[in-house]
A and B are shown apart, each in its own frame.
Chain A
């Protein structure tokens, strides 16, 4: 991934909202990041972290107070038209399309709006109808489609522009499991087969975990971390184990176990005892088992915990705060 050139570059971006009779809100505070060509990057953060403001500044819809945005080599502030030719966005999901137009009419209109050459539009419409599985609904008014289909149409409409970069604000918000899965697959295909670059903001940890190559975590307007999903998972992969023991431990066992670092002992309401250990190596499990074996404490189960991205995200936020 290191050899890929940046499609999108953000340096020192700042935005403070001033409202009458209210204290100013610093939505984005000196944010810098890069998005490499042919990758999917997820922006994660709690509500009010500055995700949407950042995405809208990248779209040229909100003017930043400071900082520079370069899209495909074009400075957004100086070469707005050229920069925007490289970007398409779905900002309000199914609200980004004309509900009174049919699927095909929406695609044709937005292709013209993005200055696509008339001769290529018809062929591309057919391609995207097929790609997004909307062929049978081509003459259906957008308002009559399901929410999932409307969302797919909104992404198709963004794609018909043939822009290199796709910006998505909460692409799976409010969708059912099937539609969410479909959107995930589509995004991955767009990047793998059509070599697009995608930057998305989301609360959907499964989307991040399964689709994104990199993650930017934003909190209180600042970038807390930017790294690949696999690296982040690796950092937090300290091999936690849970050992459930029938009954309680003796005082001598508890004393011995207390010498093992990163181990906690908890007596559950069921009468069982739960040991939670964060181990660097698997072999560190043996001393614990030896202590249990000394008094033949019956081990009910040993479970290796794999942290999901939600836990990683929360841990990073806690560390950052």
Chain B
């Protein structure tokens, strides 16, 4: 019960900031939308005459939306840890009787709900603009997205841990954001080893649902197991790296320093 109370507190906190800084949020949505428009217009110019143009646009939309969601989720962890340390509140979180893992999970889950709303708005705008309507099967998309994002959160934890130790690495954090494009776009359907990268296999399955109209029930046990295993593996490894870094930071007395 207590744990749910913390999640609720984070939801209230995040929603209060979301509402108070609404112009900022709208600015973010507009930025993502404009970036998509530029990509879309460029893509139409190159591949406009192709017979598979319709499917390719749908692929592009799914890829872009997934990239946006993955980016936000990665930022949720890595940037949250950095920002809390910078603002002086990280030490307060560590003084909570809750385990820090649960604190950050509550924070990220609350942010994810808000991010889903933002992504839904961006997706609707994009579908309206392009005239391509995707298969929005929420019962299939939500569980696939959750396990896909688990791998991304693992990366976020690892990067967050490194941030605790090596403080001023903002530029590297920015570079990693673009590396996320590669994870979403990786052709893991055809190149087997790419499936083992975080979020790559999940993106492929989500694409199958949204573009090809498949349902989660159409996937084999092996395909779903792989998705779950990859998500759990990266989350466990990422969290392990974070805990190692946290212990080192606590030994060095630099946990809350920035």
**B189 contacts the other chain (CB 8 A):** no
| Contacts A17-B252, A59-B95, A62-B255 given; does A112 touch B5 at CB 8 Å | yes
| Contacts A112-B6, A113-B98 given; does A61 touch B12 at CB 8 Å | no
**B27 contacts the other chain (CB 8 A):** no
Chain B residues 3-25 with CB under 8 Å of chain A are 5-6, 8-9, 12-13, 16-17, 20-21
Q: Which residue among A53, A97, A113 has the maximum number of chain B CB atoms within 10 Å of its CB?
A: A113
- Which residue on A lies nearest to B250, using beta carbons? A63
Chain A interface size, as a band, is: 35 or more
| Contacts A97-B89, A100-B21, A113-B103 given; does A60 touch B253 at CB 8 Å | no
**A91 contacts the other chain (CB 8 A):** yes
Q: Which residue among B8, B12, B16, B103 has the maximum number of chain A CB atoms within 10 Å of its CB?
A: B16
Contact status B89-A84, CB under 8 Å: no
| Contacts A95-B88, A113-B92, A113-B103 given; does A63 touch B247 at CB 8 Å | yes
CA distance A233 to B182 in the complex (A): 70
| Contacts A63-B251, A84-B97, A115-B2 given; does A109 touch B9 at CB 8 Å | yes
Contact status A105-B16, CB under 8 Å: yes
**B223 contacts the other chain (CB 8 A):** no
Q: Which residues of A contact B94 (CB under 8 A)?
A: 59-61
Interface of B is mostly: helix
**B171 contacts the other chain (CB 8 A):** no
Q: Which residues of A contact B35 (CB under 8 A)?
A: none
Contact status A81-B97, CB under 8 Å: yes
* Chain A proximity mask over B77-121: 1 for CB below 8 Å, otherwise 0: 000000000011101111111110001000000000000000000
CA distance A98 to B2 in the complex (A): 22
**B160 contacts the other chain (CB 8 A):** no
Q: Which residues of B contact A91 (CB under 8 A)?
A: 88, 91-92, 256
Residue from A63, A85, A100 within 8 A of B97 (CB atoms): A85
| Contacts A84-B96, A113-B96, A115-B2 given; does A98 touch B13 at CB 8 Å | yes
Chain B nearest CB from A166 CB (Å) reads: 12
CA distance A99 to B21 in the complex (A): 13
Contact status B95-A98, CB under 8 Å: no
Contact status B17-A100, CB under 8 Å: yes
Contact status B91-A59, CB under 8 Å: yes
| Contacts A84-B95, A101-B13 given; does A96 touch B88 at CB 8 Å | yes
Contact status B250-A109, CB under 8 Å: no
Q: Which residues of A contact B247 (CB under 8 A)?
A: 63
Apart from A92-B88, A95-B87, A109-B13, list 11 A-B contacts with CB within 8 A. Answer: A27-B253, A59-B91, A59-B95, A61-B255, A62-B251, A97-B89, A98-B89, A100-B17, A112-B6, A113-B103, A115-B97
